[in-house]
């Protein structure tokens, strides 16, 4: 069974940077359709932050308007990992961040998986 394990996160000052990583382990993955990051602040709904989608013409990335130009998502296909580089952090970026994969394992249907979540706090 595939598990997503996140690392990174923590406390940063406004204007600072943090890097999140997420690795898929377990199972035999035949294809990863999307890799992304969501976040959920207290009292708010979970929202998409950034996503990489595997298309026939290559990777397609999209970002929430609130993070575009500050956050960068990247993937390592060989290691089945995805990272989120977060720069110019703002207090409103404070949330629990979750990685999310939509993938297919050999012998199993396509499915989606979530990481356990990692806290990001931006405060002076």
Q: Are 99 and 82 in contact (CB under 8 A)?
A: yes
Give the rounded percent of residues in the chain with a pLDDT score beyond 70: 100
**Residues ≥6 apart with Cβ < 8 Å to 122:** 11, 12, 13, 14, 16, 89, 90, 91, 92, 93, 94
CA distance 32 to 38: 17
- If phi > 0 it is left, if psi is from -120 to 50 it is alpha, else beta; for residue 116 that is alpha
pLDDT value at residue 27: 82
Find the mean pLDDT for residues 5-21: 97
| 16, pLDDT greater than 90 | yes
Question: To the nearest whole number, what is the mean pLDDT of the chain?
Answer: 94
Kindly report, residue by residue over 34-92, the tens digit of the pLDDT: 999 999 999 999 999 999 998 888 889 999 999 999 999 999 877 899 999 999 999 99
């Amino acid at each position: 069974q595939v598990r997503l394990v996140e690392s990174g996160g923590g406390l940063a000052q406004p204007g600072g940077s943090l890097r999140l990583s997420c690795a898929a382990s377990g199972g035999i993955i035949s294809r990863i359709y999307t890799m992304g990051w969501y976040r959920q602040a207290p009292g708010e709904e979970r929202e998409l932050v950034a996503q990489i989608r595997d298309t026939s013409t290559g990777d397609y990335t999209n970002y929430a308007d609130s993070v575009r130009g500050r956050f960068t998502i990247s993937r390592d296909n060989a290691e089945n990992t995805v990272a989120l580089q977060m720069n110019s952090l703002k207090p409103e970026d404070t949330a629990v961040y979750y990685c999310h994969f939509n993938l297919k394992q050999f012998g199993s249907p396509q499915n989606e998986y979530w990481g356990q979540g990692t806290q990001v706090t931006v405060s002076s």
